[in-house]
Amino acid sequence: MTTLVFLEHHEGEFVKNSLGVLGKASSLEGDTHGVVVGSGVKELAARAGAHGASKVFVADDPAVEAPLPQPRVDVLAKLVRDGGYDTVLFGQSVLAADIAAALAARLEAGLNWDLVDLVEQDGKLVGKRPALQDSVYADVGWSSAPRIALFRSGAFDPSETGGEAQIEDVAVELEDFSANATMVEQAHAESEGPSIEDADVIVAGGRGLGGPENFRLAEELAQALGGAVAATRAVVDAGWYPYASQVGQTGKTVSPKLYVALGVSGAIQHKVGMQSSGTIVAINKDANAPIFEFADLGVVGDLHEIVPKLTELVRQRKS
């Protein structure tokens, strides 16, 4: 198996999900190479060696600085064709999903998405794909190579193997239509601390918080736990918290080690975005909230009383 992993980066750092996928790929049989596309990214590319890439291709060109999918499809398509890669892997993101799907069309290759694992089974490569609100796990595969896959955020933890990667420059040759879309203004992180895709701990707030001002409770607990703050669709729609923090069917799918849900009912639309979290703790005053059916620890009570105490206790433990 020869695998190429797309290594996404933002503001000079790899996106954690990409590194997780890279680590997973390098644990399977065969060669694992990475590809970094951007401007001024050579130093960053070298760091991928420590996460399992034996070789990293670098398309370093101001023409591909903006995180737009189509120029990246051109770079990857050429690498896959020239290098004969049979497997191309991506960590889920808005950018990566667009690249993966366009690459599938370009190479006439199969794409499986939303995978949570990849295993070699009876000589075949098999992806694990939760379906129908994660009530079913499908074993999916590919009938031909190259095989393309997108993995759910948090599917794998990055590993530090400490290796070194050989760096190879690749020239950027774009299709006539690929540079037509242009970035007028690029987003920057709206808040400090880890993003919810990168966080090991997420504290989520729902309508049960009572109002936007009470997100302070979630933020303080998240800070004490070293995590990020997420929100349900209902509170994002109500304007209590930014969309970038929305977890659920129309937001992000996350699987941190710990997910603390404050005043979150656990409706299916939210559940699908977080049920693969390692441990789920829920505090809700409604004893009948659906979240109690799948939270590892559910507390029926007033979060306004419990959370400040909890935050204080966590702080004490850490200090």
State which of positions 86-125 bind another protein (CB under 8 A). 93-95, 97-106, 108-114, 124
Q: Which of residues 167-226 bind another protein (CB under 8 A)?
A: 175-177, 180-190, 195, 197, 201, 225
Q: Which stretch binds another protein (CB under 8 A): 28-36, 49-57, 156-164, 302-310?
A: 302-310
How far the first Cα of the chain sits from its last, in Å, is 47
Q: In the chain, what is the greatest distance between 2 CA atoms, to the nearest angstrom?
A: 61
The DSSP call for residue 180 is S
The residue range among 30-38, 45-53, 143-151, 156-164 that interacts with another protein, by the rule CB under 8 A, is 143-151
CA-closest candidate to residue 146, choices 103, 114, 98, 115: 103
9-10 and 13-14 beta bridge pairing = antiparallel
Dig out the tokens for 306 from the structure: 């419990």
Residues numbered 273 to 292 that lie near another protein (CB under 8 A) are 279, 281, 283, 287, 292
By CB under 8 A, name the one of 63, 119, 238, 313 that touches another protein: 313
Which of 198, 173, 220 is CA-nearest to residue 9?
198
**What distance in Å separates the CA atoms of residue 129 and residue 113, rounded to the nearest whole number?**
8
Quote the least distance from Cβ 215 to another protein, whole Å: 18
Residue type, 289: A
State the minimum distance, in angstroms, from the CB of residue 242 to another protein: 8
Task: Identify which of residues 55 and 78 has a Cβ nearer to another protein in the complex.
Answer: 78
Q: Of the two residues 50 and 138, which places its CB atom closer to another protein in the complex?
A: 138
- Angle at 272 (CA atoms; ends 233, 284), nearest 5 degrees: 60
Least separation in angstroms between CB 161 and another protein: 23
Q: Which of residues 222-261 bind another protein (CB under 8 A)?
A: 225, 242-244, 249-250, 252, 257-258
Read off the tokens for 195. Answer: 């993003």
